[in-house]
């Protein structure tokens, strides 16, 4: 029997400042018509965030790599 644990995390993006919401849109290249309407930004960001898939093994590996080499200037970026 195969069992999977699904965790659903919900974030209230209404609590974020407009500057943070705009940066999220910019970093993730979301196409939004009105960048001044907070409700539209929150809706688009919430949909985008909910549709993201996370590979647990890759996430843990990246975290451990980053934690181990955080002091090193000459580290190579981890390609996932």
DSSP code string of 5-31: --------GGGS-HHHHHHHHHHTT--
**Residue 70 in 3-state DSSP?**
coil
Other CB atoms within 10 Å distance of the CB of residue 70: 8
Give the pLDDT of residue 45: 95
Cα separation, 24 vs 35, in Å, equals 11
Per-chain mean pLDDT for the chain? 83
Report residue 59 as tokens. 């996430």
Tokens of 52: 């993201």
pLDDT digit string, tens, across residues 9-31: 678 999 999 999 999 999 999 98
**Other beta carbons within 10 Å of 50:** 11
Q: What pLDDT shows up at residue 1?
A: 46
pTM of the model: 0.64
């Amino acid at each position: 029997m195969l069992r999977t644990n699904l965790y659903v995390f919900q974030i209230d993006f209404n609590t974020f400042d407009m500057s943070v919401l705009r940066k999220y849109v910019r970093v993730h290249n979301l196409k939004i018509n009105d960048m001044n309407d907070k409700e539209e930004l929150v809706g688009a960001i919430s949909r985008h965030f909910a549709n993201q898939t996370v590979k647990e093994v890759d996430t843990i590996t990246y975290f451990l790599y980053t934690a181990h080499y955080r002091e090193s200037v000459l580290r190579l970026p981890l390609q996932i």
